[in-house]
Structure 1
Amino acid sequence: MRKENMHQSVEVMYKKVDECPIVNSQFSFFQMVYVISGNGFLKINGNCISYQTGNLMLLTPNDYHNFDIVNTTEFLLVRLNSEYVKDYRSKSIDHIECLLHYASHLSGCILKRKEDEFLVKSIAESLMHAIDNADIYDEDLITHYVNALIVIAARNIAKIKPEGIKVSADKRILEIINYIQSNIFFPDKLKASSIAEKFDLSGTYLGSYFKHHCGETVQSFTSNYKIRLIEHRLSFSDRRINEIVAEFGFSDESHLNKFFKKHKNISLTGYRKAKISLN
C-alpha cells in the first residue's frame, strides 16, 4: 500500500497511461478525476466501476483505489489538499461540503446534468491550455477554473438521491431531505413537529413516511448528516470546539461531545488528533 501526500494547496496534472502505475494507492487529499479519453475500470474500496471518455469522478482522502486501463487513457487530475478545502469553505461552504459529504457514497461519473458535460469538457481544456502555456497570473486563472469545477460537481451531486433512499421515492421526500440539510444549523427547525408542519403532515405520518422511503428515521438521518458535517469541521478547518458548538446550536461543549461520542465512539479532540496524524 502506497500513501501519497501533497504539499501544494491545489495541483492540476495531466497523465496519459496504458496501465495504472500504482496499485492500491491511498492519497491524503481530495481529488477530481476527469477522463479526457479512454476507458477502463476504477477499483475503489473493494468496488469496481467502469469509466469512459467525459466522466468526472471523485476520490476522497484515504480512499483505496487503482485504475484498470482497458484502452489508453488520458486523465486530468485536480488535487485539493486540506488547506485549499479550508480556504474554499470560507468562501462558499455549501459547495465543498456537498462534495465532501456525498463523495464517499458515490460510484462512477457524477455528471447527471447533460448540459454540464460540455462545461466540464471546456474547463478541462482550459486547464490543459494553462498547463501547456505558462504565463503570468496562471495560479489565479487555474484557481478560478478549479472553483468552477467544484460548483458544477456540487450541483450535479445535489441531483443524486441520498444513500438508502428508494428508487420509487417521490418528490416530497427529496424536498424534506433538502429542508433538513438546509436547516441543519437551526435545531428548532429540525424538530419533527416543525418539519411536519412545514410539509403539512401529521407528526406520526411523517415518521412512518420518511422511514418507508429512506430506510431510517428522521432523527437518525438528521443526526448522521450533522455528524458528517462536524467530522468535516474537525478534519478540514481550524475552528475551535466552542465555535462548532455555537454553529450547530448545541447548549455547550459537553453536549456536543456527548452527541459526537455516542455516534463515533471517540471524543471531538481525539477525532481531530487522529485525523491530523493521518495527514
Structure 2
Amino acid sequence: MCETKKENIHQSLEVLYRKVDGCPLKDLQLTFFQMAYIISGNGFLNINDHRIAYRAGNLMLLTPNDCYNFDIEQTTEFLLIKFTGDYVKKYRWKNICEIECLLYYSAHLMGCILRNESDYPLVRSIIQSLLQGIHHSDLYEEDLQMHFVNALIVIAARNIARVRPAQLKINADSRIQDIINYIQSNIFSPQKLKAPVIAEAFGISDTYLGSYFKNQCGETIQHFTAAYKIRLIEHRLKFSDRRINEIADEFGFTDESHLNKFFKKYKKLSLTQYRKSNAV
C-alpha cells in the first residue's frame, strides 16, 4: 500500500485545464475517476509502481484508489476530467450496461487507452470544445460540458472493450481486425460465434478460418472467444449485482450449471467463489 495523500473532488464532475513544468503534488491517491488528456508536452506517469511515458494526444484513465504522480520532462498542458462513480451510475447509458466495469478495467492497461486510430481526431475535437468552454463560457455551458464528457467516457469504454490477442501481428491485415470486431460485437449470441457462421460472414471456409486466425493472432479462435467472454463475465461478477442466472441468460448459456462449468474450466473457481473473493 502506498503512503499517499488522498485526492478528493467536491462535485460529481470537474473539468480543469493545467499547464505545469513540474508536479507540485506528488504521490496522490485518487478517490474518483480521472481522464488526463495531454494537450502538449511529454514525460512519465508513475501509477501503481508502473512508469509509463506520455506525449501529446494521449488519453490516460486513472481509477479510484490508483496511486500516481507525473514526472514532467517538457512543460505539459493537461485537460483533467474528474468524475465520481456515482456520476457514471446516474447517467442513463443506452447501450453500455456495464460502463463502470469497463472503466475500472483500464487499471490493467498501460498508457494511452485509445486503441482505435479513428478516435484520436474525435477525442481531439471534443477536448478543443471543452477547452473553449473553460476559456470562453457561454449560455448552457454546463450542459454542453456534461455531454462532451459523456462522449469521452463512451469513447474510453469502447476502446477499453477492444481486446486484441497479445500476439496479434503488427502488420495484421484488416480482415482479421474485422473478424475480431465481429466476435466482440456478437459475444452474447453463441449461434453467431460458431466457426461455420463466422466463416460464411467473411466468405472463407471454416477450416481456413481456424488456421488463418491462429497464424495472425498466435492463438485459436476458440481460445480468444472464450477468454473475451470470461473477461466480461468477470466484470459482471465483480462490479454488478446481477444474479448468476441473469448472467447465464445474457451470455446464452442454457442455465447456471452450464455457465459455472465453463467459468470453472478457465478460472478454477466457481462463480460464487470468484464473486466473494473479488468483492469491491
Whole-Å separation in 1 of the counterparts to 2:145 and 2:258: 42
SS at 1:238 equivalent: coil
Compute the TM-score of the two structures, normalised by the length of structure 1: 0.77
- Structure 2 partner of 1:21: 25
TM-score, normalization: structure 2?
0.77
Residue 112 in 1 paired to residue 117 in 2?
Answer: yes
Alignment map for 1:1-279 (pairs within 5 Å):
1=2, 2=4, 4=6, 9-17=12-20, 18-19=22-23, 21-23=25-27, 27=30, 29-44=32-47, 47-60=50-63, 65-88=68-91, 90-93=93-96, 96=99, 104-108=108-112, 110=114, 112-113=117-118, 115-116=121-122, 118-126=124-132, 128-129=134-135, 138=142, 140-153=143-156, 163-277=166-280
Contact kept, 8 Å, 1:51 with 1:109, in 2: the verdict is no
Shift of 1:198: 2.0
Kindly indicate whether the alpha-carbon contact (under 8 Å) linking 1:101 and 1:228 is maintained by their aligned counterparts in 2. Answer: no
Higher helix share: 1
Relative distance call for 1:149 and 1:238 in structure 2 (3 A) is same
Instruction: Give the Å deviation of 1:241.
Output: 2.0
State the identity as a percent.
Answer: 56
Distance 2:130 2:247 in 1: 36
**2:53·2:111 contact (CA, 8 Å) conserved in 1?**
no
CA pair 63-127 structure 1, distance change in 2 beyond 3 A: farther
User: Using a 3 Å threshold, how does the CA distance of structure 1 residues 123 and 238 change in structure 2: closer, same or farther?
Assistant: farther
Distance 1:40 1:272, change over 3 A: same
CA distance in 1, matches of 2:181, 2:42: 34
Structure 1, residues 66-104: CA drift from partner, whole Å, max 9, x if none? 321113434322234444444457423189477666774
Whichever residue aligns with residue 169 of structure 1, its letter is A
In the alignment, is the contact (CA less than 8 A) between 1:3 and 1:28 conserved in 2?
no
More divergent stretch after superposition (196-205 vs 223-232): 196-205
Change in Cα spacing, 1:142 to 1:158, as seen in structure 2 (3 Å) is: same
Alpha-carbon displacement from aligned partner over 1:245-278 (angstroms, at most 9, x marks no partner): 111001111222232233233333343344444x
Distance in 1 (alpha carbons) for counterparts of 2:94 and 2:53: 34
How far residue 194 of structure 1 moved from its aligned partner, in angstroms, is 1.7
Q: CA deviation at 1:195?
A: 1.4
Task: Report the residue type matching 1:146 in the other structure.
Answer: V
Deviation of residue 154 (structure 1)? Answer: 5.4
| Structure 2 residue ranges without an equivalent (≥5) | none
Alignment length (residue pairs): 273
Are residues 22 and 40 of structure 1, via their aligned partners in 2, closer, same or farther at CA, if it must alter by over 3 Å? same
Contact 1:99 1:153 survives alignment (8 Å): yes
Structure 2 distance, partners of 1:104, 1:189, is: 29
Distance 1:156 1:246, change over 3 A: closer
Flag the 1:270–1:155 CA change in 2: closer, same or farther, 3 A.
closer
Structure 1 unaligned regions, length at least 5: none
Residue 128 of structure 1 and its aligned partner are, at CA, apart by: 3.1
CA distance in 1 between counterparts of 2:87 and 2:215 reads 39
Does structure 2 retain, via aligned residues, the 8 Å contact 1:184–1:248?
Answer: yes
SS at match of 1:142: helix
Alignment root-mean-square deviation, CA: 3.7
